[in-house]
Amino acid sequence: MPAGITVSSVLVVEGEPASVFGLIAPLSDFWEAVIASKRFVVNVLDAHHVRAAEQFALRYPGDPFDGLTVVRSDSGPLLSDASTRFSSTLMAHFEAGYSLMVQGTLDEIELADNPVRPLVHYRGRYLTVAPPR
C-alpha cells in the first residue's frame, strides 16, 4: 500500500551525490514505508495541488491517495500530474525536535518542461514562490 506525507521543509544539497533533506513525522505511515524500503519519492506539488497537499497532511478523512492518479515505482508512488519529482535512497536520519530529519541521495530527477510554481505552506495557508506563467 502506498504511503505519503506532506513535507513543508525540504532542502536539496549539491554534491556527489546530491542529497535531499526533509523533516517528517516519526510516527507516520510514510516513515514506516521508508524504513521498510529504504527508498522514497518527493513529488513537488504545483500551485493547483492544494487539495493533494491537504490530503497528505491528513486534513481530510480517508486515504490520502483518493482521487489522485498514482503510478507505482520501485522508489514509491509517483503522482501522475506532478511533473517535477525525484527518487531517493535513504542515507541517514536523526531526531530533530518532534520530527525526524531524513537524508536521501538524489537518484533520479524528473523536471517539468515548464517550471512549476511550488506550494509553500506559510502561516496556515498555501502560497507559491514563482512568478505566474
- Tens digits of per-residue pLDDT, 67-108? 999 999 999 999 998 889 999 999 999 999 999 999 999 999
User: What CATH code would you report for 10-128?
Assistant: 2.30.110.10
Which of 89, 84, 92 has the alpha carbon at shortest distance from 74? 89
Render pLDDT for 27-41 as a digit per residue (tens, 0 to 9).
999 999 999 999 999
pTM tops 0.85, yes or no: yes
Render pLDDT for 12-65 as a digit per residue (tens, 0 to 9).
999 999 999 999 999 999 999 999 999 999 999 988 899 999 999 988 888 999
**Integer angstrom CA distances of residue 85 from 27, 61, 62, 75, 108:** 24, 26, 24, 11, 8
Q: Residue 45 gets which letter from DSSP? A: P
User: Whole-angstrom Cα distance, residue 105 to residue 12?
Assistant: 10
